[in-house]
Structure 1
Amino acid sequence: MAPATLKLTNRSPRKPIRGLPASVEIPVDVTVDNVKVLIARQCGISDHNRIGLFNPATNKTLKDRNAIVLADADISRGKELLVKDLGPQISWKMVFVIEYLGPLLVHPLILFLRPYIYPWATPTPLSDTQRLAFGLVMAHFVKRELETLFVHKFSNSTMPVFNIFRNSAFYWIFYGLVSAYAIYSPTSLAATADEPLVDLVGTVIFVLAELANGSVHLHLSSLRSRGGTERKIPTGLGFSLVTCPNYMFEVIAWVGAVIATRSWGLALSVALGITYMAAWAKGKERAYRKEFPDKYKKKRYVMLPGLI
């Protein structure tokens, strides 16, 4: 079939892309990602991920980088694309690596600086429960890093680099600073705890839930090809109960850690984390219902049975 010519319009007239051609000629089967490469080359932009393409009728971004551009009825009919420079980009994999690195750096740093952080308290060695708390936090975020590097497959390639500060703040501040400060204080409940059975119960809950969470992540990864953007209906462990059992098991794991550590700081971090995960889970439920209206079994609860 003959190539199609699409008009290119700056989506942000106040910040136009310099050198944006008036139009671009594309094959009928070209993907969103390939059009970005073509436009970036003509504009002299080295990273094509900076190019954002938008539907001129709805003003919505074309998210699926592997989608056929002309398969969009509005674009095919109007023969136009809105284009915007999204600014410097960073890969989603690197975003998660940086996010999870926060607690892995902050907790050892707080331990190293412990004599200076709590000068008002009588210096005492770490209790067994505080050492356990350190091990649980480190284990969780090392697992997160390994999953990011070797398991997760991301549908979006990149995000604006400046968003990394917003995305990382929660992990660095709450799971990092707030949790570490609360756990390693000489006057914390973990410092004075002497109940090995409570430590054991919390640890067993944590370990079993982390294993279940990892199993769900492996299953989700198996549903998408490397570099792909396709979505399939997940099944198996926990999916008959909630939309996102990975979030459910993560919450259970953190509840186990809170039991073991007796930490108000960790409990606060988990509570805030639940609000974020609940929003993400609701979004996934909407996406499944929209994409698979006839095949997907609707879930009443997206993350925690009987609650969320």
Structure 2
Amino acid sequence: MFRRNKPSSSENRRDFATHGAALPLPANDMRNFFNLSQLVLSAGQLKPPPVLRHSKITFLEVEILDAHSKKQICVVDKIPPSSTLLDVKYRFHKICPQWSPSRIGLRLERNGVYLKDSVNIKSLAASSIITLYFTDMGQQVSWTTVFLTEYTGPLLIYLLFYLRLSSIYDEKQTARSLRHPVVHLACICHCLHYIRCLLETLFVHKISEGHTPLKNMIKGCIFYWGFTSWIAYYVNHPQYTPPSFENKQVTLAVLVFLMCEAGNHFINVALVHQNQPGNKISFPIPSINPFTWLFLLVSCPNYTYEIGSWISFTVMTQTVPAGIFAILMTIQMSQWARKKHQLYLKRCTTHKWRKAAMIPFML
């Protein structure tokens, strides 16, 4: 009688696999499978779906009120946060064409400071609505036009007096009198000064693209043109008398004048290079050029040289109008120099040892 052998475990697995039945797993295999499944479930999806983020831009509204009556003029809406105040002025001009952007003055408060065109509108926003006060600045002109007009006038006016037109001086006195050499030198120095100013305005200075009221240009023209007429009238008069020490006084004054004009030019060129984009230096420093060494003593040597030019011109011509003009220019430029000096002190603490703003060891 044959006895059938008990099938092995490997044969059982093949039979169950062939008939499609599930095989019972040992306890260790079940535990491992459970742990693996828990690990997969806790890890989440292998590649999560991308999250779509919708950037929502919040637009701003600018309410513009009249600074005097507090009445609403208009509302400029749908302004992107990246806009500047100049963009708001152009939008305001489209709504109210009678006011050009150059004559629009905007302030946060009725009696506050006028905001610059480069101010970002978002920096002014405490909410989605910004209230600004409008003031009509009047007819405006560019700074380039102001400087060219102020400097061209004295150049032409002085030449008219130098020609001794019959409508200005008596013809008989003009025919009898001979001109002293200082009269010719004074004309050359005066023209040289204003030609330098004109050329630097066109090719050296980086003048702001802003505007100034027309009345300010008129005031400047009255000052420069008026004093030029007064000075030129006396220096070119047929009865003009030369300086007391004559040639020695004139020669020394001319040399100082030329040195100050050269120094003023080199300082202006140095300041332009100093203010180039990317330059992190916040205060002027001297260079190899000896004319720039005055930076070691004062903060604004360009004003120092300017005053030196007019003082030497006064000594050269020995006239009262030139002296008064030099005094007034000294007062005005000392105020400008002090403001710039304080600005340098705020920017850099190492600048404090420079005690003077315009005149070494004094002012």
| TM-score (norm: length of structure 2) | 0.73
* Structure 1 residue 109: Cα displacement: 1.6
* Structure 1 residue 289: Cα displacement: 3.6
1:28 aligns with 2:81: yes
Structure having greater relative contact order (Cα 8 Å, sep ≥ 6): 1
Change (3 A) 1:269 1:302: same
Task: Please tell me whether Structure 1 or Structure 2 has the larger radius of gyration of its CA atoms.
Answer: 2
> What SS is found at the alignment partner of 1:239?
helix
Aligned residue type for 1:189: T
1:258 aligns with 2:308: no
Query: What is the CA RMSD across the aligned residues, in angstroms?
Result: 3.0
Q: Which residue of 2 aligns with 1:170?
A: 223
Aligned residue type for 1:139: L
1:279 aligns with 2:335: yes
Distance in structure 1 (CA, Å) of the matches to 2:222 and 2:110: 36
Change (3 A) 1:223 1:26: farther
Q: Which residue of 2 aligns with 1:85?
A: 136
* Structure 1 residue 114: Cα displacement: 5.0
> What SS is found at the alignment partner of 2:212?
strand
Change (3 A) 1:232 1:33: farther
Map 1:185-200 → 2, pairs under 5 A? 185-190=237-242, 195-200=246-251
Distance in structure 1 (CA, Å) of the matches to 2:260 and 2:244: 24
* Structure 1 residue 281: Cα displacement: 1.4
Q: Which residue of 2 aligns with 1:135?
A: 188
Deviations 1:138-158 (A, max 9, x none): 000111111111111223511
Q: Which residue of 2 aligns with 1:305?
A: 360
Aligned residue pairs total 297
Distance in structure 2 (CA, Å) of the matches to 1:43 and 1:288: 41
Deviations 1:227-266 (A, max 9, x none): xxx9942222222222211000111122222222222221
Change (3 A) 1:55 1:14: closer
> What SS is found at the alignment partner of 1:304?
coil
> What SS is found at the alignment partner of 2:295?
coil
* Structure 1 residue 34: Cα displacement: 2.3
| TM-score (norm: length of structure 1) | 0.84
Stretches of structure 2 lacking an aligned partner (at least 5 in a row): 1-55, 287-291
Q: Which residue of 2 aligns with 1:66?
A: 118
1:76 aligns with 2:125: yes
**Structure 2 residue corresponding to 1:145, chosen from 194, 198, 203:** 198
Q: Which residue of 2 aligns with 1:203?
A: 254
**Structure 2 residue corresponding to 1:48, chosen from 83, 89, 101:** 101
Query: CA contact under 8 A between 1:129 and 1:261: conserved in structure 2?
Result: yes
Query: CA contact under 8 A between 1:7 and 1:80: conserved in structure 2?
Result: yes
Distance in structure 2 (CA, Å) of the matches to 1:225 and 1:51: 29
Deviations 1:270-296 (A, max 9, x none): 111111111111222233344x25465
Q: Which residue of 2 aligns with 1:181?
A: 233
Aligned residue type for 1:251: I
Q: Which residue of 2 aligns with 1:13?
A: 68
Query: CA contact under 8 A between 2:106 and 2:135: conserved in structure 1?
Result: yes
Q: Which residue of 2 aligns with 1:233?
A: 283
